[in-house]
Amino acid sequence: MEDFISSLPDELLFHIISLLPFESAIQTIFLSTRWRFLWNLPLVQHGTKEDVPSAVSGFIANFDEHNTTRNTRRFRFHFGNTRGLLSAILAPNNKLHLHFSAENMQNPTHFSWQIELNNPQNLSDHQPTPSTFFIKTLNLISVNHLSSEAVSCMVSEFQLLENLKIIGCHGLESMSIDSDTKLLSLTIFDCPHLKSLHIRSYKLRTFLYRGKFPWFLPEFHFNLGNAMLDSRQGPAFNTFKTCDFDRVLLTIKNSEILTLCKWTFEALICPSLSSFFQFYKLKELWWIDNYSKGFYNCDALITFLKLCPSLELLFVTIDHNSYVMPNATKWGAGAHATPLRSCTKLQHLKVVKLEGFDNQDNEILLMKRLRDVITVEPLILSTSDGTCLRNLIRVSSHDSHPPTVPHSLVSQEIYSYKFVQMKHNNQLCPKHGHIRAMKAYDSSLFGYRESK
């Protein structure tokens, strides 16, 4: 059939794209070469790296979504003699994506980076301008030693910035973020050389981190409601002490949504726990685990669950490439020396989702251990590929085998488990907020790279 839509004028196609959510709009590059051509029509300028802040500011100030001659959402800036390249995209809902040309990832130049987001004095005397008041969400991708200073200068002007994402910055060794403005959410993904992270923020409520765990010094934000510490790659260096994690523990203790790796709990949290410590507000937990020498030991998870009396959703992912502590085999019955206060068993657990388990025996073993800390019957789901779900249900052995002794002599009912195949149902099987965020990030970043 003839493609009538692609034959429309550029102005109409641009208008169609402008009505779509950014994550969907960017996928139009896969429709045909005609649509890919539209995304390859950005504004193009040349200059030096010192010109980056003013160039981006001018691009934002010139944008007008109601004027087809001034609603170009893409901008490309070539700077310096080292073939530096900045690609910028203005997305709906006041989002700005800044993607710098990636340096040699195998041998990048290491650098330190400082970002300050502080209200200027007498802010009320400043006239609002599009370049300083327009951006509320900023994605910084592949910033390197050549562009970090220019980016810091530019970011300091975004006075209403609420959401900051720093992604794929190879060579970044240490970072400091200082904010007493409106910064509410901070995401740092895939910066493989990061060893030191200092955050000073009064209003931060969401912190999402993926990568090797650095020396992390948080200040002033002890009210994180959403914390993701996905450090399945292990620590950034081998000189960690439990006291180095004390401030982080105070920061995440009141979280309602949490992602944590098994090794982080074993090495940094468990040794310093007091008998009265609990995650009182935690409702959603994503626990990233592993097998040690082919055997799954759930003792660490069961111990952690005893600290979470309000838990409603539990997601357990087995990642065979996840970091394993050198002394992980020592963990087991009797190995946990810290006395935990006896707490009320989990009374609110609604869903348990298991992913990545090699066999059903380990899943059933975990469920039997889980029954020691819960008083309810949660929905238990298992998947190996993310789409095909199995429902693990508990059945009484008396239902399938008649008792060999009179029922009155049976002192304790014996249970067994069986799996029931079921169709994937998003309402029946909710996803952890961090899992959704990671998949959305990976998908949008892939589409963005394709569009380049």
- Convert the chain into a string of H (helix), E (strand) and C (coil): CCCCHHHCCHHHHHHHHHCCCHHHHHHHHHCCHHHHHHHCCCEEEEECHHHHHHHHHHHHHHCCCCCCCCCCCEEEEEECCCCEEEEEEEECCCEEEEEECCCCCCCCCCEEEEEEECCCCCHHHCCCCHHHHCCCEEEEECCCCCCHHHHHHHHCCCCCCCEEEEECCCCEEEEEEEECCCCCEEEEECCCCCCEEEEEECCCCEEEEECCECEEEEECCCCCCEEEEECCCCECCCCCCHHHHHHHHHHHCCCCEEEEEHHHHHHHHHHHCCCCCCCCCCCEEEEEECCECCECCCHHHHHHHCCCCCCCEEEEEECCCCCCCCCHHHCCCCCCCCCCCCCCCECCCCEEEEECCCCHHHHHHHHHHHCCCECCCCEEEEECCCCCEEEEEEEEHHHHCCCCCCHHHCCCCCEEEEEEEECCCCCCCCCCHHHHHHHHHHHHHHHHHHHC
Is there a domain that residue 294 lies in? yes
Same domain, 34 and 67: no
Question: Which pLDDT band holds residue 123 (cuts at 50, 70, 90)?
Answer: very low
Question: Which pLDDT band holds residue 105 (cuts at 50, 70, 90)?
Answer: low
Is there a domain that residue 252 lies in? yes
User: Residue 295: its pLDDT value, please?
Assistant: 78
Across 355-361, average pLDDT: 86
Same domain, 84 and 32: no
Is there a domain that residue 54 lies in? yes
Same domain, 154 and 27: no
Q: Range with the lowest mean pLDDT among 101-115, 163-177, 299-313, 381-395?
A: 381-395
User: Residue 428: its pLDDT value, please?
Assistant: 57
Q: In terms of C-beta density within 10 A (0-12 exposed, 13-18 middle, 19 or more buried), how is residue 102 classed?
A: middle
Is there a domain that residue 340 lies in? yes
Q: 25 pLDDT exceeds 50?
A: yes
Is there a domain that residue 126 lies in? no
User: Residue 124: its pLDDT value, please?
Assistant: 47
Reference 133, options 112, 158, 111; nearest CA is: 158
Q: Range with the lowest mean pLDDT among 19-33, 40-54, 215-229, 271-285?
A: 19-33
CA distance 190 to 142: 10
**Between 117 and 119, where is the model more confident?**
117
Q: 427 pLDDT exceeds 90?
A: no
Q: Are 252 and 233 in contact (CB under 8 A)?
A: no
Over the chain, what is the mean pLDDT? 79
Same domain, 7 and 47: no
User: Residue 163: its pLDDT value, please?
Assistant: 95
Same domain, 298 and 204: yes
User: Residue 42: its pLDDT value, please?
Assistant: 62
Q: Range with the lowest mean pLDDT among 90-104, 315-329, 413-427?
A: 413-427
Is there a domain that residue 347 lies in? yes
CA distance 353 to 179: 37
User: Residue 332: its pLDDT value, please?
Assistant: 40
Same domain, 37 and 85: no
The phi, psi pair for 216, rounded to 5°, reads -115, 120
Query: What percentage of the chain has pLDDT greater than the value 90?
Result: 32
Reference 270, options 316, 237, 303, 233; nearest CA is: 303
Same domain, 152 and 235: yes
Q: 322 pLDDT exceeds 70?
A: yes
Q: 414 pLDDT exceeds 80?
A: no
Question: Which pLDDT band holds residue 242 (cuts at 50, 70, 90)?
Answer: confident
Same domain, 342 and 445: yes
Q: Encode 427-443: b = buried (16+ Cβ within 10 Å), e = exposed.
A: eebbebbbbebbeebee
Q: 430 pLDDT exceeds 80?
A: no
Domain that holds residue 14: 1-41
- pTM, full prediction: 0.81
Question: Which pLDDT band holds residue 324 (cuts at 50, 70, 90)?
Answer: confident
Same domain, 139 and 248: yes
**Between 148 and 31, where is the model more confident?**
148
**Between 102 and 372, where is the model more confident?**
372
User: Residue 337: its pLDDT value, please?
Assistant: 45
CA distance 246 to 216: 10
CA distance 152 to 99: 14
Angstrom distances, CA of residue 422 to CA of 327, 356, 377: 39, 17, 18
Same domain, 25 and 171: no
Same domain, 368 and 344: yes
Most confident segment among 17-26, 100-109, 272-281, 296-305:
296-305
User: Residue 251: its pLDDT value, please?
Assistant: 92
Query: What percentage of the chain has pLDDT greater than the value 70?
Result: 73
Domain count, the chain: 2
Sheet holding 111-117, edge to edge: 111-117, 172-179, 196-201, 215-219
CA distance 113 to 196: 10
Instruction: Express each pLDDT in 144-198 by its tens digit.
Output: 988 899 899 888 888 889 999 999 999 999 999 998 778 999 999 999 999 999 9
Same domain, 36 and 66: no
**Between 416 and 265, where is the model more confident?**
265
Across 379-385, average pLDDT: 81
Q: In terms of C-beta density within 10 A (0-12 exposed, 13-18 middle, 19 or more buried), how is residue 235 classed?
A: buried
CA distance 339 to 138: 45
Which residues, other chains included, contact 62 with Cβ-Cβ below 8 Å and sequence gap of 6+? Answer: 70
Is there a domain that residue 125 lies in? no
CA distance 176 to 114: 5
Q: Range with the lowest mean pLDDT among 9-18, 55-64, 169-178, 362-371?
A: 9-18
Is there a domain that residue 219 lies in? yes
Across 32-49, average pLDDT: 73
Reference 162, options 133, 129, 185; nearest CA is: 185
